[in-house]
Amino acid sequence: MNNILRKQITKHMFTVCIEGNIGSGKSSSLKHLSDKYDKVMTSCEPMDRWLDLRGHNMMEMLYKDLTRNAFSFEHFSQLTRLEMFANSYNTADDSKRIRLMERSIYSARHCFTQNLYNGGHLSKPEFLIIDEWFKWLSAKPCLKPDLVIYLRTTPQTVFSRIQSRSRSEEMEIPIEYLQQLHELHDNWLLDENRSNESPQVLTFDADLPQKQLFSLLDQNLDQIFKEILL
């Protein structure tokens, strides 16, 4: 835990990214932690922007035709995630010491963009354009998270949750797509060869009932957050 805390000294806020597959419980976990710690600011995924770009539902368009709409969605997603991060700086006050973010430019690149490219939905030039943007952005120290919370689920669990919550934009998502994202999240976050410069990853079994998951989050994060909030 100490190596996590050392990084906070040189940054205005300690940044925690909550990562995981679609339907893994990121939004509810973000809200739980926000309610528990009053000196924490939260940044949710800019879903409202994706659902309404001047009258265009970008997410619905993506899942209806991945090949046609992958590049425009990934490009717009990267922009809105950057805006989300910038806005968290602009609206921050001195009482907020921890920033909790739902996903990041890193999962966008290593999981979602990579998956679309692997599936042939992004051409090589399209993939390289997004990757060039990512390389430029990820070189900025202020965009690097200090800690990643990985809500790890099985594809079967998140598929059932997606079907239960019945968001119209997500009903086209096949379980194979979720399996691919699951493998990419594991490859990215559980890789034993991750560099020492990579943020520490805390992995939680998000197949568990919500109450049990929240209890585990509290047990593991209390020490870290209390040290920062002193």
Binding-site residues for ATP, in ranges, read: 20-28, 161-165
Residue ranges in 52-174 assigned as alpha helix (H): 58-64, 66-90, 105-107, 114-118, 124-138, 155-165
Chain centre distance of CA 190: 15
214 contacts 136 by C-beta, under 8 angstroms: no
Using CA atoms, how far apart are residues 145 and 108, in angstroms rounded to an integer?
14
Q: Which residues contribute to the annotated binding site?
A: 20-28, 161-165
Is 102 labeled as catalytic in the residue annotation? yes
Cβ-Cβ contacts under 8 Å for 179 (sequence gap 6 or more): 155
- The first and second tokens of residue 144, run together, are 């690097």
| CB-count burial class (<10 Å; 0-12, 13-18, 19+) for 69 | buried
Using CA atoms, how far apart are residues 229 and 214, in angstroms rounded to an integer?
20
> Strand 147-152 and strand 200-205: pairing?
parallel
Taking residue 47's Cβ as centre, other Cβ atoms within 10 Å add up to 14
End-to-end CA distance of the chain: 16
Using CA atoms, how far apart are residues 62 and 69, in angstroms rounded to an integer?
5
The active-site residue out of 19, 45, 60, 102 is 102
Residue numbers annotated as active site? 102
